[in-house]
Amino acid sequence: MTSKESQNYKMPPFETQKQVPPGVESIMDPIPDHGEETYVGNNLLKDKIVLITGGDSGIGKAVAIAMAREGAHVVIGYKDSIEDADALNTLAWIEKAGSKGALLPGDIRSEEFCRFMIEETVAEFGRIDILINNAAYQMSYDNLEDISALEWNKTFETNLSAMFYLVKHALAHIPTGGSIINTTSVNAYTPNPSLIPYAASKAAIQNFTASLAKKFLEEGKGIRVNAVAPGPVWTPLIPSTIPDHEGFGSKSPMGRPAQPAELAPVYVFLASPQASYISGATIPVTGGEITI
């Protein structure tokens, strides 16, 4: 588990930092903490095979590092060459943990690419024990009229359709005892009016999670499906998509955004045998924001 105390994290306001989506971590201030120096594994996921979308940075990177230190081998998907440096850094941390890793760049809006990710992971490792649907896209809009059909569809294709494609093609390769974890958001409960497509897609993910969990239980597949609902998290997506990111997270009850390292232990728990009686749940990690 991570040992760094939360009060050591920098509080907003942050410096103005202009980035283009999807953003890169190396020029962020402060640099996000993914648990590189703090996460200590306990062999909870020894020899498990993990596929994480959006694993190059942010929450996905923290989860990749944590799961590697728990003994898992980790395949990470990410979008394109803009994120190469971040992805290679994540791979280095996976390998430093003594685990095997692989990188699969491409656009998860394509069902064919999602199928390719599954096939490549299975070809390399034989199966997928843990599928983490984490990659996401968002943009801020002041006016509803400014949201184009293209933008709406891009958001849902990235955030929701990709999950469907990946689960659909992975299902035959996930053994009994496997785990699927989807990243939703506090926006599923308290939507931000400037993020209407994103918030709507995150609410749909929560419903998708519950539907899959119930279906797989009824079918006796032995595959658990859960979700994590983060509050504000300091990732490259923030300075690249939120104009007023200087105050990001300041309105949360804790007065700051989470660092990715603070999310990773929840994913590890849900993937581990310790969560064997949990399916269909959404675990909020919201800095005190009530989600009931």
Kindly state whether residue 254 falls inside one of the protein's structural domains. Answer: yes
Residue 198 annotated as catalytic: yes
Q: What is the pLDDT of residue 130?
A: 99
pLDDT at 204: 98
Read off the pTM: 0.96
Examine residue 60 and state whether it is found in any structural domain, yes or no.
yes
Q: Which of 9, 165, 198, 267 is catalytic?
A: 198
- The per-residue pLDDT for range 273-292, each reduced to its tens digit, is 999 999 999 999 999 999 97
Per-residue pLDDT at 157 exceeds 50: yes
SS3 76: strand
Query: How many whole angstroms separate alpha carbon 52 and alpha carbon 179?
Result: 12
Q: Does residue 287 sit within a domain?
A: no
Burial of 8 per CB tally in 10 Å (0-12, 13-18, 19+)? exposed
The answer to whether position 34 is within a domain reads: no
Residue 268 is part of a domain; what is its CATH number?
3.40.50.720
Go through the chain and tell me how many residues it has: 292
Distant-in-sequence, close-in-space partners of 267: CB < 8 Å, separation ≥ 6: 59, 63, 66, 67, 132, 181, 228
- pLDDT band of 7, cuts 50, 70, 90: low
Residues spanned by the domain of 209: 42-282
pLDDT (tens digit, 9 = 90+) per residue, 58-101? 999 999 999 999 999 999 999 999 999 999 999 999 999 999 99
Q: Is residue 133 part of a domain?
A: yes
Tell me which residue has tokens 């799961």.
67
Q: How far is CA 87 from the centre of its chain?
A: 14
Quick check: is 5 in a domain?
Answer: no
How many domains does the chain fold into?
A: 1
Please tell me the distance from the alpha carbon of residue 272 to that of residue 226, in angstroms, as a whole number: 12
